[in-house]
A and B are shown apart, each in its own frame.
Chain A
Amino acid sequence: MNVSDDQPPPPPGRSWRSIRQEVKPLAMSRKGRRRQLAAWAKVGALSLFAAGTGWGVYAVAHSWSTDRAALATAVHSELVRDVVLITDGVLTRDWAAGVLALPRPASLMALNLPALRDRLLAHGQVRVAVLTRNFPDTLVVTLQERTPVARVQAADGSGSPRQLLVAKDGVVYDGLNYDKTMLAGLPWLDGIRLVKSGDGFEPVAGMADVSALLSTAQLQAPHLYREWLVVSLARLAERDEIVVKAQDLPEIIFSRKRDFFKQVAQLDYVIDAAHGLEAAPVLQSVNLTLEGQVPVRLQGAPDTLAAAPAAPAFSLQPSQRKPKREF
């Protein structure tokens, strides 16, 4: 046969390999069906084995990646030789080392950092704690501490009173390493009820407002703040009032609905104005909760006098009189 190149070749016949070889189970003999079942079982067993092997490999890999002892071996980390403390407060390295209580000897990679962090955070003074491995042998502890805004008196287990500190977020804690003079200048909290929670107390509600008032006073009128002895939150929940007791002024009523800066300014004005009067009245109470006027109560005056029209009520006209302080 001579086939020219431009002629398309005829289609070839089928090869025996294109014959379908599968046989329906009904057409199989019993032995064939048994072999087929055995083959399926084998495939199933192999699949299970493969799945098991895969799971095993995953488990080993997962364990390898999470097991600290294995990691320690893997990276050949050394024993912890130093603990470095970086803090924005007053806590010391020794305190941190004491709280962490690292086992000796402890490999750096073998340390359970989340557990150590929880130990630090168990102390109320610590707001944020970050622990970092600094290879090869240093554990770096970075802390952000709470700042106390007030003090509170509580009874310990034996019934004797002890001084606790309250932070801006209401957390009540034992203060450590604070300057005693600074602590003595903090006002006491009153009108609150401490609720036990674990080893400590539940956070005090409303401390954000108290902190705002105290920091405003501390910054803008430190001469007034120094005189403040007690801050009462007794009326805060019901009437939104914070009552401050100062050394020479038994009751100063602030409202958390009004701007504290304005209220402190008004208080300063009222006190200055009272001192400027020839009669030199002694103030018993200053109410700063009202807009436009500040009712005051003077020492020796009958209670009804304060409500009478003739009772002194300082109208707020700062422009008529030169203020002693610029706010």
Chain B
Amino acid sequence: MILAVSIMAFALTLATIFTYFAIKSKDLVKAAIFSAGQSAAFALTFFLLMAPDIVLAYVAVAVGIYTVLLLYVISKTERYEEGER
């Protein structure tokens, strides 16, 4: 129980860090990859919360399909975000 909770805490902290970098990154491709990392951390948490059904759908959709769709959308526009200097 303690081990599961501490791994969950680690995964969710990792997800927060990934989210922060996904928001801050000016390179949109990198942001999409960070978002996939956040999804992987969430998948680990779902597994520890004993929801394997969710994990199977979530990994495929959030890490695979969602990321590639984002990359496809980025390929239609510019890769680098212009920020204020």
A binds B: no
